[in-house]
Structure 1
Amino acid sequence: MNHQIIDIKGIHCASCELLIEEEVTKIPGVSRCKVNYRKGRADILHDGQIDQGLIQSAIEEAGYSIGKDEKHFFSHNRKDYMDLGLSTAILFAIFYLAQALGIFDLGFKTGGSYNSLPVVFLIGLTAGVSSCMAIVGGLVLGASARFAEKHPLASTLQKFKPHIFFNLGRIISYFILGGAIGYLGSFLQLSTSFLGLLTIAVGLIMLLLGVQLIEIVPGLNKVKLTMPKHISRLLGIQQKSTKEYSHMNSAVMGSLTFFLPCGFTQAMQLYAISTGNPLIGAITMGTFAIGTAPGLLGIGGLTSVVKGAFARHFFRFAGIVVILLAFFNISNGFNLTGFNLDVFQSFTSPTIAESQEKDPNVEFKEGIQIVKMVQTADGYLPNKFTIQKGIPVRWIIDSTDAYSCASSIIVPQLHIARALSLGINIIEFTPSEIGNIKFSCNMGMYAGSFNVIEAE
């Protein structure tokens, strides 16, 4: 048995390890390949002599090359930036095409900072062929390998059963545990400011993951969200590979992945807690798990398509999407904490009435300021008003979509929180101080404000 260590360029995460190991172990005579992305090398165990050209071809097939990586915080490879520019151009072309076709209007609103279930599904799909594939993929392969060993004469369809039971257990547990952590958020009665900080935390995690996916800042690849080893031992995750296979074990193994250190999963878990709603938490986590299923079901199949040069373009494309979602969440979080960055206001808010001394959207009637606003699935129209200090305000909100994020409205400064019902809703208050009174949906996605001036 011969042993050799090979330096590899371009590996930056556990997903890279899995892709390279899968290709190298296909070489006849190779009994084991263990890749360490931190050291940038592969430890290969094989019988007899192996043609080095075969090893090089396998590594290149996975999308990498042989050699030592120069360690820089920012990439010095011009091609990385050219690929990033191309991926960005493609993304914006797809965005404007989808916008022109009205695709963004088709999503079912979840009531949170992720605009719709299709977006949650997209995040899951990205995770399923990147970080989740790397972390969970080993468990899937282990389960299927044990089944194949136990049933050597099984058909291809029968050998696929471990994948099905694994993902079924995973999806069901994500629904149940997502509802549980959503309920936990409700029980904790999180303040608006804390919800804002939680949303910012989600955004920062997403930002880190997105930057790592685009491979422009390799210096950040050493930052990993990992689970403490004693928790892994407590859950028995590290010992799973030694257990006898059964469909039940496979399903249980899938359910335990809820606790594995996938950054995307952790970001979605934080979001589910912040909703304070068991139903939304369950639907969000369940949809995310369904999104990861294609990648996990296709390990050795679909995942063989997302590799090599295509994989690099795909992950950069996905990374840009994740970064945009990250900034979106961070902006929403700042809205909730009282700092309005207005980063995405042009995308998320309808036409705004500019603040002025005599606001045409404010009517005086019998000593009361009448403010009329329409709430739609896309926000509030109009969403800026000028009102006078010390005069009662009757805020009349016509809700045209009671199942969207915008239907849950909060005014932190006035301690107002209201779930709007379909039709006319009335909120009354009296502004006591000059300045700005901000309002938004419960997750800060859609926002607006009252500009309070001295009474005439």
Structure 2
Amino acid sequence: MFLVAGDLLTSSNMSDDNQVKCYKFKVKGMHCASCELLLESKLSSLPGVRKVDAKLGSNMIEIHTTSSSSAEELASAISKVVEKDGYLIDQQLYKTNQFDEWFYSVPLSVFFILVYAVVVRAGLFQSDVTNLDERLQVFVLGIGASLSSCMALVGGIVFSISSALDGQPPGKRYLYHASFHLGRLIGFFFLGGLIGVVGSVLKPSAGFSVVLNLLVVFVFLILGISQIFPQSFSKFQFRLPKLFGRLVVKLKVSSPQSSFLIGALTFFIPCGFTNSIQIKALESGSFLSSAIIMFTFALGTLPVLAMISFASTNLSERFNNGIFKKTIGILILALAFYNLILVLNRI
């Protein structure tokens, strides 16, 4: 997910009175606002850390700490924290074999694209509300999101629910987790529907629909490229303000109802995958169609998040490698060009 460079870029005393020091480190691999939130959440737990500010645009992380540790010791502590979640440190960067990643990711991508094309050509399960082609795209993106760093923050919320219920009877733990996932599905349905209502108000002409579709294509392109080359294109992503995600993360689980509410509010966690589907839902211009689009996306993320809840398994860590990221990136780029062709045919 991330590569935290071990070299300290700058170090300065903020206050000699309370001995608070500010360290800035280069961070490689950030590609969405969820990466910022996840880094801030993880590194805030380090001893002596007063404040953590991760910045996607500059790929920097700023740590304010009262610790007497040197820059090198702090870098080592950071490495230990990120390695727990399958992250890499700079020394491991040179072990990455780019040729092997492309060697496996390209054939895998071609295979999935062919499967997708066969299913779409078969024309199965068409409906009047939204067609199979669109549902498949959204569902596939949901699966990809659940195995990427974009869902790591949501997975962290799921783990926090587990921690809050540590020692409680299994039935109670299952109830809270089920409430969270139910809240996420229902929240995405109704909040997604509201996006469609907004779209119906903002949609005065066919030209506006084309513009929104082109925006979806653009977001898909940036999202796909950022998965393949995260360092180069992360700053160009569309995203909601990080404040939304921070508010959701700070919510505490005190009852099944609060767990349900937190699940619904994950709709507002900044993530490139989620934001791209939200734009697609906006273009639909109707409550039901938009609601189904967002519900389908949430449904795609459900299997992995459910496994995190009920089996304490974080699949995103196991798939956190260059081969998987490049495969997902290529698939998203394929969807971007496919949608571009559809848009051009409508002009």
TM-score w.r.t. length of structure 1? 0.56
Counterpart Cα distance in 2 of 1:43 and 1:299: 29
From 215, 238, 243, the counterpart of 2:247: 238
Question: 1:8 and 1:284, CA in 2 relative to 1: closer, same or farther beyond 3 A?
Answer: same
Q: What residue number does 1:221 align with?
A: 234
Counterpart Cα distance in 1 of 2:24 and 2:92: 9
Q: What residue number does 1:108 align with?
A: 125
User: What SS does the aligned partner of 2:240 have?
Assistant: coil
Question: 1:96 and 1:298, CA in 2 relative to 1: closer, same or farther beyond 3 A?
Answer: same
Per-residue CA deviation, residues 183-219 of structure 1 (Å, 9 max, x unaligned), is 443455531111111000011111111111112x522
User: Are residues 1:191 and 2:205 paired?
Assistant: yes
Bigger relative contact order (CA 8 A; separation at least 6): 2
Give structure 1 stretches of 5+ with no counterpart: 70-75, 339-456
Aligned residues: 318
Q: CA deviation at 1:275?
A: 1.9
Looking at secondary structure, tell me which structure has more helix per residue. Answer: 2
Counterpart Cα distance in 2 of 1:123 and 1:132: 11
User: Are residues 1:65 and 2:89 paired?
Assistant: yes
Question: 1:36 and 1:260, CA in 2 relative to 1: closer, same or farther beyond 3 A?
Answer: closer
Q: What residue number does 2:3 align with?
A: none
From 84, 90, 102, the counterpart of 2:108: 90
User: What SS does the aligned partner of 2:302 have?
Assistant: helix
Looking at secondary structure, tell me which structure has more strand per residue. Answer: 1
User: What SS does the aligned partner of 1:261 have?
Assistant: coil
Q: What residue number does 2:191 align with?
A: 177
From 135, 139, 146, the counterpart of 1:128: 146
Give 1:200-279 correspondences, 5 Å limit: 200-215=214-229, 218-228=231-241, 232=244, 238=247, 241=250, 243=252, 245-279=254-288
Q: What residue number does 1:343 align with?
A: none
Question: 1:179 and 1:163, CA in 2 relative to 1: closer, same or farther beyond 3 A?
Answer: same
Question: 1:67 and 1:139, CA in 2 relative to 1: closer, same or farther beyond 3 A?
Answer: same
Single out whichever of 237-246 and 326-335 deviates more from structure 2.
237-246
Q: Please say if residues 52 and 64 of structure 2, whose CA atoms lie closer than 8 Å, have aligned partners that are also in contact.
A: yes
Q: CA deviation at 1:137?
A: 3.6
Q: What residue number does 2:302 align with?
A: 293
From 307, 310, 316, the counterpart of 1:306: 316
Q: What residue number does 1:317 align with?
A: 327
Q: CA deviation at 1:317?
A: 1.1
Per-residue CA deviation, residues 38-67 of structure 1 (Å, 9 max, x unaligned), is 55669699x9x99x9998677556141245
Q: Please say if residues 181 and 302 of structure 2, whose CA atoms lie closer than 8 Å, have aligned partners that are also in contact.
A: yes
Q: Please say if residues 155 and 308 of structure 2, whose CA atoms lie closer than 8 Å, have aligned partners that are also in contact.
A: yes
Q: CA deviation at 1:325?
A: 0.9
User: Are residues 1:331 and 2:331 paired?
Assistant: no
Question: 1:218 and 1:228, CA in 2 relative to 1: closer, same or farther beyond 3 A?
Answer: closer
User: What SS does the aligned partner of 1:108 have?
Assistant: coil
User: What SS does the aligned partner of 1:221 have?
Assistant: helix
Q: CA deviation at 1:97?
A: 5.5
Question: 1:154 and 1:252, CA in 2 relative to 1: closer, same or farther beyond 3 A?
Answer: same
Counterpart Cα distance in 2 of 1:187 and 1:15: 30
- The sequence identity of aligned pairs, in percent, is 28
| Structure possessing the higher radius of gyration over alpha carbons | 1
Q: CA deviation at 1:89?
A: 1.7
TM-score w.r.t. length of structure 2? 0.70
Q: What residue number does 2:9 align with?
A: none
